[in-house]
Amino acid sequence: MSNRQTAEAALDVSTSLNDGDVDALTGRSGTPFLFETEILPAPAQLAALWEGLAASGYDFGPEEEITVLDPDADTWRRFSSSREVEVWFQRHAPQKAALALVPTSDGRLIIIIDRDRRSSQRIRGLKVEQE
């Protein structure tokens, strides 16, 4: 999956959030899911997370402003410096992962996206960064 396709996948997340399509977001999310510093092991937790984020009414920037980054050895520190998050990245982050930075009116979302085309559950983690 190219950077452009990864940005499109991130745009799909923002569109689904704006549309309140919690079922689509939950279906495209893999577990265990990393949300900021918490690890969500169950689909029901994901549904509750997506419901809350959809209700928050984020205003997203245009697709051209989405930045795609390849992870490195310290990517996990963008989420937390905890050992639990470091271990999640070692064990559960997809080998073909990318970070998509999606601008919002209040900051940005950092989405961990699995670039493996065979994966139907491409959304693997999320962090909300406030400005």
Domains delineated in the chain: 3-127 (3.10.450)
Contacts of 60 (CB under 8 A, 6+ apart): 14, 17, 18, 102, 103, 104
Contacts of 4 (CB under 8 A, 6+ apart): none
User: According to the model, what pLDDT value does residue 111 have?
Assistant: 95
Mark out the alpha helices in the chain (DSSP H runs): 3-19, 22-27, 43-55, 83-91
The rounded distance, in Å, linking the Cα atoms of 14 and 63 is 10
pTM of the model: 0.91
User: Digits of tens for pLDDT over the chain (131 positions)?
Assistant: 888 899 999 999 999 998 999 999 999 999 999 999 999 999 999 999 999 999 988 788 766 789 999 988 889 999 999 999 999 999 998 888 999 999 988 889 999 999 988 888 899 999 998 87
User: According to the model, what pLDDT value does residue 66 have?
Assistant: 92
Token pair listed for 13: 């997340």
